[in-house]
Structure 1
Amino acid sequence: MRRRRFLASVAVAATLPLAGCSDPRGSVRLTDVSDDTALAKQWATPIDALSDSYRDLVVGAVEDDAERATVTDTNPPFEPPNPIEYERSYYDVGYEVTNERTQTQYGVESTFDPDPPPERTVAYADLPAVDRAKLDRILDPDTARDSGEAFGIGVRYTDAEAGESVVVPEPEYDGVTREGATFGIAVRDSREVTVADYRYRADLLAADAAGVAAVARERFQFSFDGLPSDQRALLDEAKGDEVESEDPPSEAFVALVERFRAHDAVELDPYFGGEWLLRDGGADWWADVRFPESMRGE
């Protein structure tokens, strides 16, 4: 669940069926993960599913490359909720926080093809390197924009970088030209923010899929004992499929969900639902449970 939300945000930020977030019904889906490879794929995130920047942090962490594995930001940009698979091994990836300090964040805005056109312009290639690096995204002619459309971002400059810049704290030019396009440039505001260096580390969790599957089973696996027949029927129906509750949910559905919630989840969102690793009928099942509306947030 969080695994899917995480992939959607970085590979892209899928979620626990977020399409059903406004649906008052709940659901249970069981996927057979008895095979080690199936369980590993369900729990771990392949490095190729990460965005380029996150992938670079992980590789830097695995290779113990401090520069590549360190990023400066106001918050940790990357908090892996599950193991990362890299070159067929599996890693727990985390970070350490060091060197907290303040920087100035500027609200910089570019306006595509402004009317009237700016009088004082500078070619993008003639901008200082620090401005090109920080403002490339809002000065991109390939980005489809309508004439007069503005695009703003918050960018942080150290005092030394601001000393090199021709954009902050006050623009020395009214516009920037690049590949035949003209951008108006303005600084709308500034404020002090706290930043830190986030040094990512990667601890080997398992050398192969069998190893990471064994870790998952040891940490999360459980079984249900003595299920009443109505709950048993719901559970069996959910194997390889999805069972949705009625609205309002039946007592059996609520009781079955409560049984899941009595165990440690692989992933849990108190509002939407969670994911559990269940042993049932001689097989391992990845349980994706969406809570009915009446149980959300409890």
Structure 2
Amino acid sequence: MRRRKFLATTAALLSVPFSGCSDPSGRLSLENVDDDETLARRYAQTDDQLDDDEQRILDDAVAGDEPELNGSQPHFEEGPYDQRAPVAHAGSYYNVSHEVVETYQYARYGVGLDLNPPEDFSPSEGAIAVADLPPVDRDVVAGFFPISDDHPESDGADVFHMGTYSPAEEAESVLVPDPEYDAVTRDGATYPVEIDDGGSVEINRYRYETTRVAATHAEMAARVRERYLFTLADLPEDEREIMREAVQSGRYVTEETPSQAFVDLLDRFRPHRPLQGDGEDYGTWLVAFDGTVYLADVTAPLNTPASESG
């Protein structure tokens, strides 16, 4: 029987969005991904894109456990390209799935500090050192420090941080819902505390499992090529020149009004499935050119004339 591990946290979802959009100038960027490992790892989520919770989920699930994690959204919902892209782990590639096993209502509070209190301020309910706060309060308050030199200065609390509290954490807290102290101290300074009720938020308990989809870099790369790869061949010389420049320098940028050759070259990408993007104004494609496979980031210029090829 597989063990179940519970990881109590509300960490945010990792997301790696595509940054392309229409630009006054058209752009074509090429990245050589001819090598199996390069293509496979470029397509998948990798260790450097995972936070600590995601790494623990992956390690435990691959080992045969069923790790569980609290959060407002599940992890591993998006990859660098397609949603639910596989995750690389020790040379193999896995899909990560989840199910909701329980739902809770957590309380949210805005915890604010007055970073420039009046000189004659004296806490009426007492003060507590930041280091002496219960962990759930300390995690929220510690985010105020070190204090920025350009922090806002106003009457009352200058900055608020939102804290999310489970029922057990609320019972442990000395700041919410009814503060036992109205100030905190750190490095010899005293800061008034203000608490705002932020309502409630639904937190799910997710259980994660993995399914291996490729045992090697070569197998993963083959799956990606089968799904996305197309070849640019028999190009007119002016379009070949654009591709050659992008190969040599890594990118090609048009004038504000692009050449007809660039417009026609862009039209050769559009019928094919992009890894990311709308496939019209921008996108990332997997393309073979002169025997080498590239990831091509293409952005259509705003002033695109009518194509002569379509």
SS for the counterpart of 1:214 is: helix
Q: Which residue of 2 aligns with 1:37?
A: 37
- Please say if residues 273 and 279 of structure 2, whose CA atoms lie closer than 8 Å, have aligned partners that are also in contact: no
CA RMSD of aligned residues (A): 3.2
SS for the counterpart of 1:247 is: coil
TM-score when normalising by structure 2: 0.75
- Please say if residues 127 and 182 of structure 2, whose CA atoms lie closer than 8 Å, have aligned partners that are also in contact: yes
**2:256 is aligned with 1:250:** no
Q: Which residue of 2 aligns with 1:6?
A: none
Q: Which residue of 2 aligns with 1:52?
A: 52
Q: Which residue of 2 aligns with 1:63?
A: 63
| C-alpha distance 97-258 of structure 1, shift in aligned 2 (>3 A) | farther
1:196-215 matched pairs, under 5 angstroms: 196-215=204-223
Q: Which residue of 2 aligns with 1:86?
A: 89
| C-alpha distance 267-227 of structure 1, shift in aligned 2 (>3 A) | same
- Work out the CA distance in 1 between the residues paired with 2:181 and 2:152: 18
Deviation at 1:23, TM superposition (A): 4.3
Question: Aligned to 2:299, which of 287, 290, 298?
Answer: 290
TM-score when normalising by structure 1: 0.78
1:1-298 matched pairs, under 5 angstroms: 16=19, 23-67=23-67, 69-73=68-72, 75-76=73-74, 78-81=76-79, 82-112=85-115, 114-116=117-119, 117-119=121-123, 120-133=126-139, 135-138=140-143, 140=145, 142=146, 144=148, 150-224=158-232, 226-240=234-248, 241-268=250-277, 273-294=282-303
Q: Percent identity?
A: 36
| C-alpha distance 61-151 of structure 1, shift in aligned 2 (>3 A) | farther
State the Cα deviation string for residues 254-277 of structure 1 (Å, max 9, x = none). 232232122111222568722111
State the Cα deviation string for residues 30-59 of structure 1 (Å, max 9, x = none). 223222133234323430343334333333
| C-alpha distance 180-203 of structure 1, shift in aligned 2 (>3 A) | farther
- Please say if residues 30 and 286 of structure 1, whose CA atoms lie closer than 8 Å, have aligned partners that are also in contact: yes
Q: How many residues align?
A: 279
